[in-house]
Amino acid sequence: MLAATSPFSNLFASGALLALIQVLAALPWLYALDPAGFRIAVKKPVAYLSLAGVIALGGAFLAWFMHYKSDPTVLEFWGRIYGAVLQLQLAVDVPTLAIGLILAVWPRGGTVALAAFREGYRQPMFWLLMVASVVLLFLSMIIPYFTFGDDFKMMKQLGLDMVMLASVLFCVLAASISVHEEIEGRTAVTLMSKPVTRRQFLLGKFFGILLAGLLMTLLLGVAFNVALAIKPYFDRLEDATDLLTIQMQFAVAPHVQKLGVGIEGQAFFRGAGLWMGDTLANTLCLGLGFGQVMVLLAVAASLATRLPMVVNLVLCLLLFFLGHLSDPLVEVTEKLRQTGGIASNLANFLAQLVDKIVPSLSFFSNAPAIIRESMLEIGPFALYVGSVLGYAAMYTAIALLFGLILFEDRDLA
């Protein structure tokens, strides 16, 4: 082990900054746990003294830890672990802050969204899907894919699909059960007797369940990153490099490294920056899958205003398959149409009709970004993800508008 080369004051400065970042990341979910107690605490000076004490103790501990380890390679590894803990906190912060923003700009609908969000993550189904997905993600590390060197890519693609499918299944089930049961159980009548309109009820349910699905996606994203980091230790001869991730690491890690003071502090921050690069690159891929979650949730919530859960699930499953098969069906039927015949013309017409009505879910696939030989630039890929999410938002708005039309004519009495 190398001797420490930086004075303790430099190590303490780096440690205090690391502790401050973790404390700031903890504030949103601490507020969510006890809003009343949090508001009372921020009015007391002793709370700020306690906060400063926590940062000082955390900084001192991290300074001692960096002095004790001192090897830059080892500290870079621990910096990655720090980045994983920070990612876990941010995964909880994002939907929590989104709920707070909705409540601030849309109080009545936000109240419905908050209730749906709490109901979502408190359901056993939420945690059952979470645990099952995490187990499958880690099992995917040891599965032989027989791809002659591309096992890492296949594992990454399989992991992204598992995260997407878990979120889709949860959101569709939650919307089918929650919206329909509240309408059939006359709970919606009680809400409508208060100053809550049908529009606020349906949209509030949608946003609440969507944010619960976002929470699941982000939490599974942490497990996904950990599994990808461990995978090379099982297959040391495999090519475990991802050019997309490497580009993001080169863009992020040098800037984060500059926040550290001294050799040890910079090594620790570099490890955190490398993990942040992994997280940002993989979050773009998760964003593609989440766009599909948003579309199917909007369809499920709209259909739930009229149809029971079983019929809703069957229709959403049919939409899922048609959305992924619409493009290949058009190509195949177009080739058949060129051969002539009434049947081939009719098949081509039906395929094009389906392609125009259902969303093209093939846009949300990560396979072209993961399984490829050529370099994929991070900038164009980010623009593509943004455009696909915009497409998802437009189709979601259309589906919800259709649901509002169905809901306006529904007799709740």
Domain that holds residue 159: 70-408
If you count DSSP H runs as helices and E runs as strands, how many of each does the chain have, helices first? 15, 0
The pLDDT, as a whole number, for residue 383 is 93
The pLDDT, as a whole number, for residue 291 is 94
**In whole numbers, what is the pLDDT of the chain averaged over residues?**
88
- Asked which of 53, 69, 85 is the last residue of a domain, the reply is 69
| More confident: 306 or 189 | 306
Number of domains in the chain: 2
The pLDDT, as a whole number, for residue 252 is 92
Specify the DSSP class assigned to residue 6: S
Specify the DSSP class assigned to residue 235: -
| Cα distance between residue 380 and residue 28, in whole Å | 33
| More confident: 326 or 5 | 326
Residues 302, 176 share a domain: yes
Least confidently predicted of 38-42, 52-56, 221-225, 392-396? 38-42
Evaluate the CA torsion angle 292, 85, 226, 220 in order and state its sign: negative
Residue 232 has pLDDT above 90, yes or no: no
E strand or H helix at 216:
helix 198-234
The CA-based angle 124-130-134, given to 5 degrees, is 150
Residues 381, 359 share a domain: yes
Single out the residue of 371, 204, 208, 370 nearest to residue 286, CA to CA.
370
Residue 393 has pLDDT above 90, yes or no: yes
Residue 214 lies in a domain: yes
| pLDDT band at 3; cut points 50, 70, 90 | very low
Residues 255, 393 share a domain: yes
Residues 109, 21 share a domain: no
| pLDDT band at 412; cut points 50, 70, 90 | low
Residue 308 has pLDDT above 70, yes or no: yes
Determine contact, residues 188/412, Cβ cutoff 8 Å.
yes
Map tokens 């939420």 to a residue: 126
Residue 47 has pLDDT above 90, yes or no: no
- Asked which of 35, 51, 69 is the last residue of a domain, the reply is 69
Residues 381, 268 share a domain: yes
Residues 124, 25 share a domain: no
Output the CA–CA distances (angstroms, integers) from residue 255 to 248, 266, 281, 284, in the order listed. 12, 10, 16, 20
First to last CA, the chain: 75
Evaluate the CA torsion angle 327, 332, 338, 342 in order and state its sign: negative
- Asked which of 23, 45, 69 is the last residue of a domain, the reply is 69
